[in-house]
Structures are given as structure tokens and as C-alpha cells.
Amino acid sequence: MSADQDLRHVVITGGTGAIGQTLATHYAAAGAERITLLSRSGATDPAVADLVGALRRGGTDVEALAADLTDPESVAAAVCEWADGPSLLIHTALTYVGSPADEITAD
């Protein structure tokens, strides 16, 4: 991370997954003013609510929003919540497949 990186508003897609939560913690410690975690589930997982609470107690403005990145209307609704665009956007949304690569098919 560059010393002059703009951390006014960090948006993390897939933000409630393990990678997103780790990055949220990292950027909160690095001085992010605001972090938005975007995921299909939002803050419904108790672990996410705990993380949001912990980061807020540490002084970071954090929210977890439900938004399906495959649905333009859902994304538009989330973006309307922001006065300014994100200063940093991190994409961690993914579908995990627990199989060796040579066993993964389109099905």
C-alpha cells in the first residue's frame, strides 16, 4: 500500500467473506475513514455484525450493505448511499469451488 493512498472511502465487494473481512480490518488499521462492505447477505451474519462493531469502536465508519453485483438495480441502490464515489474499490466477490482445477466443469 502506498503512503499517499486515498482511504477516505474503501468499498469492498464480497466484503462479508473471509477475504473481505480481512481487508476491512487491514484498511481500518491503515486509517480508512469509511469502509463499505458489499455482499448479497449484508450484515445478516453475526460475525459480520461483530466485525462492523469492532471496527466502529476503533474509529472507522463501517457499514455492511446487501447488494447483488449481478443485479444493476441492486448496485445502483447501494451507490446512491454514497455522497462521493469510493476512493478505493476492492473486488473480492467470488464463488468458491472446493475441487482440484482439473475436476471443475462449466456445470
Give the pLDDT confidence of 23-68 residue by residue, as tens digits: 999 999 999 999 999 998 888 888 899 999 999 999 999 999 988 8
CA distance 20 to 90: 9
Quote the Cα angle for 12-39-89, to 5°. 20
CA 94 to chain centre: 12
Amino acid occupying residue 99: S
Q: Reply yes or no on whether the pLDDT at 16 is more than 70.
A: yes
Q: Reply yes or no on whether the pLDDT at 2 is more than 60.
A: no
In this structure, the chain runs to a length of 107
- Kindly report the pTM of this predicted structure: 0.81
Mean pLDDT of 2-18: 86
CA distance 25 to 69: 22
| Host H or E run for residue 64 | strand 61-66
